[in-house]
Structure 1
Amino acid sequence: MRQAFANLLRPLPLAGLLTILTVGYAMRFTAPGQRLLAGSALCAFLVLFVLLSVVPERMRRVQHAVLLLMPVVIVVLSAASARVGAAQVLMVVWVACAFTSWPRALAIGAGLLANLAFYLALRSGSEGDPLPMVLINMGFQALAAICVHYARAAEESRDALARVNADLLATRALLADSARDAERLRLARELHDVAGHKLTAMRLNLRALASEPALAGHPGIALAERLSGELLGDLRQVVQSLRDDRGLDLATALRALAAPFPRPLLDVGIAPGVRIADPAVAEAVLRLAQEALTNAARHANADHVWLHIDEENGGLRIEIHDDGWCGERVREGNGIAGMRERLAALSGTLELDRTASGGLRLLARLPA
Structure 2
Amino acid sequence: MYVDVFEVNNGDLYLLSGYVLNLIIWIFALTRIIADKQHKRLFLLLGILVAIILVVLPATVLAPVLLIFWMSYLAESVTEKRLWLSYLLINFIVMVLVVMLGADTQAIITTLSFVAFQLFAISSTLQAKELSQQRDTISKKNLELITTQSLLLQTSKIEERQRILQNLHDGIGHQLTAMSLHNEHALQCIKLGKTVEIDAYLEQEKSAIKDTLLTLRQIVKQSRNTACLDLEVAITAIASKLPNLAINYTSQIVIERSALIEDLIYSFQEGISNAIRHGQANVIDITIEKKDATASILLIDNGMLDKQKNSTNSTFGSGLIGMKERLSHYNAQINLSKNQNNGYTLTIEIPLTQCVTDNLDVNY
TM-score when normalising by structure 2: 0.66
Structure 1 partner of 2:62: 86
Over residues 214-242 of structure 1, what are the superposed CA-to-partner deviations in whole Å (9 max), with x where a residue is unaligned? xxxxxxxxxxxxxxxxxxxxxx9xx8997
For 1:116, which of 92, 111, 119 is the aligned residue?
92
Give the C-alpha shift of residue 249 in structure 1.
3.1
Offset, 1:76? 3.8
Per-residue deviation, 1:96: 0.8
Task: Check conservation: 2:296, 2:350, Cα contact below 8 A.
Answer: yes
1:169 to 2:169 alignment: no
Residues 5-56 of structure 1, C-alpha deviations (whole Å, 9 max, x = no match): xxxxxxxxxxxxxxxxx9x82625435440x333332233333333333227
Alignment correspondent of 1:365? 350
Sequence identity, in percent?
A: 22
Counterpart in the other structure of 2:36: 59
Whole-angstrom distance in 1 between the partners of 2:240 and 2:18? 45
Gaps of 5+ in 2: 173-215, 356-364
Q: Which residue of 1 aligns with 2:204?
A: none
8 Å CA contact retained: 1:319, 1:361: yes
Unmatched 5+ stretches in structure 1 = 1-21, 196-235
Distance 1:163 1:257, change over 3 A: farther
The partner residue of 1:293 within 250, 272, 292 is: 272
Amino acid at match of 2:73: C
Q: Does the CA contact (< 8 Å) of 2:239 and 2:247 recur in 1? A: no
Identify if the C-alpha distance between structure 1 residues 150 and 53 changes in structure 2 by more than 3 Å, giving closer, same or farther: same
CA–CA separation in structure 1 for the residues paired with 2:275 and 2:101 = 49
1:30 matched residue in structure 2:
8
Task: Quote the residue 1:250 is aligned against.
Answer: 231
Q: Is 1:341 the counterpart of 2:341 in the alignment? A: no
2:71 and 2:121 in contact (8 A); partners too: yes
Distance change in 2, residues 1:365/1:243 (3 Å): closer
Equivalent in the alignment of 1:351: 334
CA deviation profile, 1:172-195 (whole Å, cap 9, x unmatched):
112212222333455577789989
Asked if the contact 2:247/2:285 (under 8 Å) is kept, the reply is yes
**1:256 & 1:37 partners in 2: Cα distance?**
61
Deviation, 1:121, is: 4.0
| Equivalent of 1:269 in 214, 228, 249 | 249
Paired position in structure 2 for 1:216: none
RMSD: 4.0
The residue number in structure 2 matching 1:284 is 263
Distance 2:84 2:67 in 1: 13
Looking at both structures, which has the greater relative contact order when contacts are Cα pairs under 8 Å and sequence separation is at least 6? 2
Structure 1 counterpart of 2:260, one-letter code: V
Q: How many residues align?
A: 300
Q: TM-score, normalised by structure 1?
A: 0.66
> Could you say what secondary structure the match of 1:320 adopts?
strand
Q: Residue 308 of structure 1 is aligned with which of 276, 287, 304?
A: 287
Partners of 1:38 and 1:77 within 8 A in 2 = yes
Which string of whole-angstrom CA distances, capped at 9 and with x for unpartnered residues, describes residues 263-288 of structure 1? 8x56342315424451x212211222
